Amino acid sequence: MTTSDVALIKRNIRYARTSVHPKLPNSLSELHDSLCVYEIKTNKLEKFLLVNDKPNGIVGFSMISNLEVLCKVQHIYIDGTFKSCPKFFMQVFTIHGLHNDNYVPLIYFLLQNKHTETYVQLFKHVLHHCDTNGFLFSPTYVHIDFESAIHSAVRHVLPTAQIKGCRFHLGQSWWR
């Protein structure tokens, strides 16, 4: 096998890959548009794309069975990460629930910023999708870090929920 053979094989693999997989988006707008075109499903063939909010830059992933669990749990745990976030987004934001003594990830969001209004819109999407599917999202306890924007959004959208600080994040803030 020669160098030109390897180059030909690489070119053929790249051509085969691009004929099967969609082109990667070059902008946030293209990303939102491509999410409208491709139907994202789980291995159980459940629809996985929950929210594609182009004006607010919010993309959310979950499925109806997860929303059902979310609405049954009393304790939800919310956290965002900034280090491992895909292109065009600032934060991966997750909502977990304490279900059968296990912490279960239930919803994943990609967010462009950390603004209170973005978090409010995110929770409104959750409320809407739960309501649309006949579920009531009304957690008793919301465990979150000490970011004021999330606290404000939770107080605004879930006024009856009791906010609990997260010991892990408290320790992190002390360490910094």
The structural domains of the chain, with segments of one domain joined by +, span 1-27, 39-175
Q: Could you read off the pLDDT of 144-153 as tens digits, one per residue?
A: 988 889 999 9
Find the DSSP H helices in the chain.
Answer: 3-20, 28-37, 64-72, 116-132, 148-157, 167-175
Digit-coded pLDDT (tens) for 35-71: 888 888 889 899 999 999 999 999 999 999 999 999 9
Q: What is the mean pLDDT of the chain?
A: 89
58-61 and 49-53 beta bridge pairing: antiparallel
Q: Work out the average pLDDT over 161-171.
A: 72
> Are β-strands 141-144 and 75-81 bridged in parallel, bridged antiparallel, or unpaired?
parallel
Q: What is the pLDDT of residue 163?
A: 92
pLDDT, residue 166, reads 65
Provide the token pair at 11: 């070119």
Question: Locate tokens 């065009």: which residue?
Answer: 88
Cα–Cα distance, 122 to 124 (Å, whole number): 5
Q: Is 157 exposed, middle or buried (0-12, 13-18, 19+ CB in 10 A)?
A: middle
pLDDT tens digit sequence for 110-145: 999 999 999 999 999 999 999 999 999 999 999 998
The architecture of the domain spanning 39-175 is 2-Layer Sandwich (3.30)
